[in-house]
Chain A
Amino acid sequence: MSRKVPEEKYRKSFSYKFRRWLEGTEDPFLGRVEMRRQEAFEEGEEARKRREQDSKALETKVYDLEHNFEMRIFNRIYRIFSILFCIFLVVMLLAAVSDLPPFGHAENPANNEVAQRYIEKGLEETGAVNIVTGMILDYRAFDTLGESHVLFIATCTVLILLRRDGKKEQEEGQDNDRLYEPKNDVILQTVARVLVPPILLFGIYIILAGHLGPGGGFSGGAVIGAGLILYLNAFGFAKTERFFTAKTYRRMSFCALACYSIAKSYSFYTGANHIESVVPLGTPGAILSSGLILVLNICVGVVVAGTMYTFYVMFRKGGY
């Protein structure tokens, strides 16, 4: 038998707060962080006079080149030093480049050990037939994790810059929205009806077959995002908002990034401590093989697809 918790108690609980934070009905910073409204800059009469006097004095006393001998000397030295600095920088960079090992030389460290190891042991260690995917999602998965987060942060920045205020939108957004709403173009709609399903399917195929052939999370996600944008252009926001809103995007990318981080931390932990990973590598060439790579590919694909679509929506409308 379950016990019914009184509402007051529930309101104080962590799960209630977490739920509100997740759904975006409460800003966790509101009322807790000190935020002061910026006041308009006003200048008194006296301060304005002093400022004008100062700038006039600066012109007549300091920047008067004909009478200011020090200034003239300084200008000349400044020019000479800027040229010298540029030459110094160019020479230094060229010297550094000339010190690098020759491009494509067989004795280069990048050419003998690392590449050889990837080619010889890659299939055995990662279980991915596609060596490139094995490299970026297994040997160098930490970089890919960073890339996904960079994409997410880029979307957040675009949201901050382009998002329109909710209240304002209610006042003036209604007619504004209709302006940006695409007209019902018959050609575009017919083409989209034929093209969008194959594009989305192809994107899913690229993501799922990332460890078997060319492709992977990023390219597949970009293809899916492009397909969603085409669908949006043809049928308008009302159709896409049935299945993709800001809330969907937030939950999707949160789950994908968290899943990626957890999966990768697990494999880093086991790898660093020389523990056998629970996830089996499987037979190379099968869909369910190569350990965590398939999961990571799906996570990256979800984040990228959502990001591409969100970019477009933000540019078009400034909010969902």
Chain B
Amino acid sequence: MTIFTCILLGFLVVCAIAASLSKKLLNTILIFMSYSLVMSIIWVLLESPDLAITEAAVGAGVTTVLFLVTLKKIDAIIKKESAQEETDEQEGA
């Protein structure tokens, strides 16, 4: 069990660093979500299942959805086609 906990904690550290270093905002949010998910498993291992439920529902669910909506509103998620078009235009120019 301790090995499993150590793996999870290591994953947590990697996620935290990766979230701050990632260049794309969408990737950052997905990494952040996996961080919350791993955190909720750790809460279960620390014998506080009610916190685990809250972490999974709020951290991995609602917060991620709100982040995604915000990204969509500020046009930070660019579709592949439009990005391709933009690069084409730049090359053409």
List residues of chain B with CB under 8 Å of any chain A CB.
Answer: 48-50, 52-54, 57-58, 61-62, 65-66, 69-70, 73
Establish whether residues B66 and A216, one from each chain, have CB atoms under 8 Å apart when the complex forms.
no
Given the known interface contacts A308-B62, A311-B62, the answer about A223 and B69 at a Cβ–Cβ threshold of 8 Å is: no
Query: Is A239 close to B, CB under 8 A?
Result: no
Q: List, in ascending order, chain A residues with CB within 8 A of B62's CB.
A: 222, 225-226, 229, 308, 311-312
Main secondary structure of the interface of A (DSSP, over half): helix
Establish whether residues A218 and B65, one from each chain, have CB atoms under 8 Å apart when the complex forms.
no
Which residue on B lies nearest to A222, using beta carbons?
B57
Q: Which residues 200-259 in A have Cβ within 8 Å of B in the complex? A: 206, 214-216, 218-220, 222-223, 225-226, 229
What is the distance, in angstroms, from A188's C-beta to the closest C-beta of chain B? 13
Q: List, in ascending order, chain A residues with CB within 8 A of B66's CB.
A: 311-312, 315
Q: How far is the CA of A54 from the CA of B91 in the complex (A)?
A: 49
Main secondary structure of the interface of B (DSSP, over half): helix
Q: List, in ascending order, chain A residues with CB within 8 A of B49's CB.
A: 214-215
Q: List, in ascending order, chain B residues with CB within 8 A of A222's CB.
A: 53-54, 57-58, 61-62
Output the residue of B57, B61, B70 with the most chain A CB within 10 A: B57
Q: How far is the CA of A102 from the CA of B57 in the complex (A)?
A: 34
Which residue on A lies nearest to B52, using beta carbons?
A214
Of the candidates A130, A132, A214, A225, which one forms a contact with B53 in the assembled complex, judged by CB atoms under 8 Å apart? A214
Query: Is A183 close to B, CB under 8 A?
Result: no
Q: Between A and B, how many residue pairs show CB distances below 8 Å?
A: 50
Q: List, in ascending order, chain A residues with CB within 8 A of B57's CB.
A: 219, 222-223, 225-226
Q: List, in ascending order, chain B residues with CB within 8 A of A311's CB.
A: 62, 66
Establish whether residues B61 and A315, one from each chain, have CB atoms under 8 Å apart when the complex forms.
no
Q: How far is the CA of A215 from the CA of B57 in the complex (A)?
A: 12
Establish whether residues A229 and B54, one from each chain, have CB atoms under 8 Å apart when the complex forms.
no
What is the distance, in angstroms, from A218's C-beta to the closest C-beta of chain B? 6
Establish whether residues A223 and B50, one from each chain, have CB atoms under 8 Å apart when the complex forms.
no
Establish whether residues A315 and B58, one from each chain, have CB atoms under 8 Å apart when the complex forms.
no
Which residue on A lies nearest to B50, using beta carbons?
A214
What is the distance, in angstroms, from A309's C-beta to the closest C-beta of chain B? 9
Of the candidates A132, A226, A229, which one forms a contact with B50 in the assembled complex, judged by CB atoms under 8 Å apart? A132
Of the candidates A206, A218, A226, A315, which one forms a contact with B69 in the assembled complex, judged by CB atoms under 8 Å apart? A315
Q: List, in ascending order, chain B residues with CB within 8 A of A56's CB.
A: none
